[in-house]
Amino acid sequence: MEALFAELEASSATPPAGTRSRLRARLRRLARALAADASAVQRARPVTIEREVGAQRRARLESLALLAGGLAHDFNNVLIGVLANSSLALLDLPLDSPARRPLQEIENAARRAADLTRLVLTFSGRAHLAVEPVDLNALVQESVASLTSARGRKSAIRFQPADPLPSIEADASRLRLALTSLVANALEAMGPGRGVVTLSTDRIDVGEDSPLDHALPGFPAPGSYVVLDATDTGAGMTPEVMSRAFEPYFTTKPGHRGLGLSIVLGIVRSHKGAIVVETRPKGGTRVRVLLPIPSS
């Protein structure tokens, strides 16, 4: 290509007689080469943009989690002061004091604020975990039973456990919360009485070159993981929705808070795991949650 340009430049001043047709042929070759280059750039573009969007999305989520987690942590310390002092004041006040009611209101408000900070600590991945050995198959089995009876749609949720599955070190109540949130999203994406959510478990070994480019919060550390897979046959997500789905308070559903996936990501983050989502508009969604198997 460079050589062709040089050649053209050299011959472009005043082409001697007889070289016109040669020049025209070169120009045609140049046009063809440029067209080929342009289509190669177009073919390459989605991959490049997807990589950049992926990296930006991860960075944005990370800084959100850092900011929210740091604020929630400091705010919690302030709340402890409010709660401790209002309790002490209530102990000292006579039972018929008119100040008791407003003090109790202060205490109730501080408790509600403490619940909110716990929520923010959860989605920022800084919540305290009650870690114990967890059999993921048993946990999913129990949750499916309670989810189907709560939703009254026996056929909508299927479970295919991998057998055997190593146990993991995890906070069972947090994992139940994450699973419930994923199943809720799957059912909501399919609409009432339609489609199937398939839950399954598996075990994978992650190496340096595993195809997990889009994992959140980042590429998982090499090692062995159990996988919880939630696949639905619902509406799927457009690239725009997918790129924001894990942001706290992002929702496309009226009346929802948009906290489900950010809480799932926080729970996964605090377990040093990863999430991989595959989705297509009208083509369903597959969410895989990877949780590390402790090295014995």
Ligand X SMILES: Nc1ncnc2c1ncn2[C@@H]1O[C@H](COP(=O)(O)OP(=O)(O)OP(=O)(O)O)[C@@H](O)[C@H]1O
Q: Which amino acid is residue 113, in one-letter code?
A: A
Q: Which is nearer to Mg ion, 260 or 284 (CB)?
A: 260
Beta strands (DSSP E) in 127-273 are 132-134, 157-160, 168-170, 197-206, 223-232
Q: Look at residue 253 and give the partner it binds from ligand X, Mg ion, none, a contact being a CB closer than 5 to 8 Å depending on partner kind.
A: ligand X
Q: Which of 116, 250, 272, 278 binds ligand X (CB under 6 A)?
A: 250
User: From residue 178, how far is each of 194, 232, 279 by CA, in Å?
Assistant: 22, 16, 19
Which residue is at the shortest CB distance from ligand X?
Answer: 260
Q: What is the DSSP string of 113-125?
A: HHHHHHHHHHHTT
Q: Does 253 bind ligand X (CB under 6 A)?
A: yes
Among 245, 275, 289, 293, binds ligand X (CB under 6 A): 245
User: How many CA atoms lie less than 13 Å away from 47 in the CB half-sphere?
Assistant: 6
Q: Segment near ligand X (CB under 6 A), from 51-59, 70-78, 96-104, 236-244? A: 236-244
* Shortest distance, position 144 Cβ to ligand X, whole Å: 17
With contact defined as beta carbons under 8 Å apart, do 285 and 278 qualify?
Answer: yes
Residue 189 interacting with ligand X (CB under 6 A): yes
- Residue 234 sits in the site that holds ligand X (CB under 6 A): yes
Q: Compute the radius of gyration of the chain from its Cα atoms.
A: 28
Q: Which residues bind ligand X (CB under 6 A)?
A: 181, 185-186, 189, 232, 234-237, 241, 245, 250-253, 256-262, 285
